[in-house]
């Protein structure tokens, strides 16, 4: 790989790392943030969801902006705005100020991320190079969450949870310099922004998640729950209608014509829905039930992180030998086994080593086998004019799955706790049920793989037989 390509890949990976890392860097600081800003357990979920929903909701608009205004320009604007809003989040004097800053961080990430992935696709066109680049990008995307846990725990115990936000500022400034020094300007073209589609999608998804979170506190029959849920469904239906009629939609519906791509988007949504929620519940279990400090809870994810990064070097060879579908299926099965065993193992008396240590490593192996094939298949056969939208959809599936999965499983968690001040055993039981809910998400991802990709293989075989005739 040429040196200039390595530099570009490093910039893209570093950009992806900071935006993914920020989805979890505050997880191990949750108890401290709650005490500092006087936030309840339910309201603390919005420390994550405000970031994730804005990130996922505006990704497609960010991808469109990259296509029309130039990808290098949008990458630079996104990184600059991300650094500024990170500073605001770090100085937040109130819960409201923090949540607004986090939402703006998510918007900035939505501008930068699709531009970065589109630049990767345009830079690495040779099959072997692209496979290696996507493998590294996917490993960082998947493992960034666990790295965020470690860093967030360290800052919380030894400096301040606010430092997890402040550190983005110098990193962002360095990245901004490197972007304009090493990445060439990309072409711009005329076109329209699908503002209606962007707004209905982000407001609809936010309303849906808000309704699910409200269900955790008020139950399903309360108007505070079903009104936002109904509004979310209606707005998402309006979004689809807008996309069918828009001259230049943020989601060209032709992207879903390919069953393999559609399966990759849905599979990613479900996998992340189950996987990301673990980063919210397990650190709290380690701190509240097993007495870990914030930093120790972050370090506890090292077996997951190391296993996941280790798979980055193995996956390209496995994919070349067995193909994306077989590697993806094996990874999902391993992830299911590890997560299911973990859900049964969690209790107030469970020792971290070797029980939880081994299971986290198994789950890391499974996750490390999943995301690279899903990313590659999500970009399969995409026309150049749709590369930005397809890149955006990969990340939309990731972020939407994280926010919706957490909203569903926080409802499972709260339903499992009956006392206002639960005992350690009751807390551990609620975490166990939530992790079991994660298993259902990942099993659903496996079913999608079998249904969508098996049918693709059958169609391919039929075409081959017809061609031979």
Please spell the DSSP secondary structure of 249-310, one letter per residue: -SS-GGGGGSHHHHHHHHHHHHHHHHHHHHHHHHHHHHHHTS---HHHHHHTTHHHHHHHHH
The pLDDT-based confidence of 158 (bands split at 50, 70, 90) is very high
Distance CA 453, CA 328 (A): 10
Kindly tell me if the per-residue pLDDT of 216 is higher than 80. Answer: no
More confident residue, 216 or 68: 68
Neighbouring C-beta atoms of residue 340, cutoff 10 Å: 17
pLDDT at 469: 59
Q: List % helix, strand, coil for the chain (3-state, nearest 5).
A: 85, 0, 15
Tokens of 279: 């980063």
277 and 397 Cβ atoms separated by less than 8 Å: no
Please name the residue that has the structure tokens 């309201």.
Answer: 43
Domain count of the chain? Answer: 2
pLDDT at 456: 60
Distance CA 154, CA 148 (A): 10
Same domain as 136, residue 281: yes
Domain of 382, CATH number, reads: 1.20.1250.20
pLDDT at 468: 62
Kindly tell me if the per-residue pLDDT of 460 is higher than 70. Answer: no
Same domain as 453, residue 349: yes
97 and 45 Cβ atoms separated by less than 8 Å: no
Angle in degrees, CA 222, 213, 448, rounded to 5: 115
pLDDT at 171: 92
Same domain as 143, residue 124: yes
pLDDT at 239: 92
Domain of residue 218: give its range. Answer: 195-245
pLDDT at 429: 92
How far from chain centre, in Å, is Cα 288? 25
Same domain as 233, residue 300: no
Tokens of 38: 């006087």
More confident residue, 47 or 385: 47
Of 245, 262, 280, which one is at a domain's C-terminal end? Answer: 245
- C-alpha dist (Å) from residue 56 to 12, 175, 281: 18, 22, 21
Same domain as 111, residue 241: no
How far from chain centre, in Å, is Cα 438? 15
What average pLDDT does the segment 10-22 reach? 88
pLDDT at 215: 85
Of 245, 273, 305, which one is at a domain's C-terminal end? Answer: 245
Least confident of 10-14, 321-325, 416-420: 416-420
Same domain as 232, residue 169: no
Least confident of 256-260, 404-408, 417-421: 417-421
24 and 279 Cβ atoms separated by less than 8 Å: yes
Of 222, 245, 268, which one is at a domain's C-terminal end? Answer: 245
More confident residue, 457 or 30: 30
DSSP code of 451? I
Distance CA 222, CA 228 (A): 11
370 and 332 Cβ atoms separated by less than 8 Å: yes
Burial annotation 406-416 (CB, 10 A radius, 16+ → b, else e): bbbbbbbbbeb
Same domain as 203, residue 84: no
Distance CA 188, CA 65 (A): 10
pLDDT mean across residues, the chain? 87
Same domain as 442, residue 410: yes
pLDDT at 185: 84
Angle in degrees, CA 405, 407, 408, rounded to 5: 65
Kindly tell me if the per-residue pLDDT of 343 is higher than 90. Answer: yes
Residues across the chain = 469
- What would the DSSP string read from start to end of 182-210? HSPPPP-------HHHHHHHHHHHHHHHH
pLDDT at 341: 96
Same domain as 134, residue 29: yes
pLDDT at 364: 92
pLDDT at 296: 93
Same domain as 419, residue 342: yes
Same domain as 219, residue 184: no
pLDDT at 461: 61
- What is the three-class DSSP state of 402? helix
Distance CA 468, CA 363 (A): 43
Kindly tell me if the per-residue pLDDT of 214 is higher than 70. Answer: yes
Kindly tell me if the per-residue pLDDT of 402 is higher than 90. Answer: no
Same domain as 339, residue 207: no
């Amino acid at each position: 790989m040429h040196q200039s390509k390595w530099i570009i890949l490093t910039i893209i990976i570093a950009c992806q790392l900071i935006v993914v890392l920020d989805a979890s860097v505050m997880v191990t600081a949750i108890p401290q943030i709650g005490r500092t800003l006087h936030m309840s357990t339910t309201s603390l979920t919005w420390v994550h969801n405000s970031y994730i929903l804005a990130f996922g909701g505006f990704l497609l608009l960010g991808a469109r902006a990259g296509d029309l205004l130039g990808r290098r320009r949008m990458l630079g604007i996104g990184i600059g705005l991300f650094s500024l809003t990170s500073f605001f989040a770090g100085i937040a004097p109130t819960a409201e100020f923090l949540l607004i800053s986090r939402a703006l961080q998510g918007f900035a990430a939505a501008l930068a991320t699709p531009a970065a992935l589109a630049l990767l696709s345009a830079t690495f066109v040779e099959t072997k190079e692209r496979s290696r680049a996507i493998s590294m990008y996917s490993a960082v995307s998947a493992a960034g969450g666990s790295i965020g846990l470690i860093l967030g725990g360290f800052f919380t115990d030894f400096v301040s949870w606010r430092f997890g936000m402040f550190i983005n500022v110098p990193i962002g400034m360095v990245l901004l310099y490197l972007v304009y020094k090493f990445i060439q300007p990309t072409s711009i073209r005329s076109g329209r922004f699908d503002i209606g589609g962007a707004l209905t999608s982000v407001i609809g998804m936010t309303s849906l998640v808000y309704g699910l979170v409200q269900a955790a506190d008020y139950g399903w029959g309360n108007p505070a729950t079903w009104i936002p849920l109904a509004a979310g469904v209606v707005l998402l239906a309006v979004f689809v209608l807008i996309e069918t009629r828009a001259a230049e939609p943020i989601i060209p519906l032709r992207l879903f014509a390919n069953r393999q791509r559609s399966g990759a988007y849905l599979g990613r949504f479900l996998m992340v829905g189950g996987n990301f929620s673990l980063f919210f519940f397990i650190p709290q279990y380690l701190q509240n039930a097993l007495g870990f400090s914030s930093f120790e809870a972050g370090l506890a994810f090292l077996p997951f992180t190391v296993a996941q990064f280790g798979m980055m070097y193995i996956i390209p060879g496995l994919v070349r030998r067995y193909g994306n579908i077989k590697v993806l299926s094996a990874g999902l099965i391993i992830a299911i086994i590890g997560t299911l065993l973990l859900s049964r193992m969690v209790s107030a008396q469970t020792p971290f080593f070797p029980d939880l240590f081994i299971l986290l490593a198994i789950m890391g192996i499974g996750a490390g086998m999943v995301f690279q094939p899903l990313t590659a298949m999500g970009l399969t056969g995409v026309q150049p004019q749709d590369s930005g939208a397809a890149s955006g959809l990969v990340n939309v599936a990731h972020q939407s799955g994280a926010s919706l999965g957490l909203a569903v499983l926080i409802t499972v968690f709260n339903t499992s706790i009956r006392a206002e001040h639960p005992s350690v055993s009751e807390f551990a039981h609620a975490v166990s049920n939530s992790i079991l809910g994660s298993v259902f998400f990942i099993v659903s991802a496996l079913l999608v793989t079998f249904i969508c990709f098996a049918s693709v293989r059958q169609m391919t075989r039929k075409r081959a037989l017809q061609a031979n005739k």
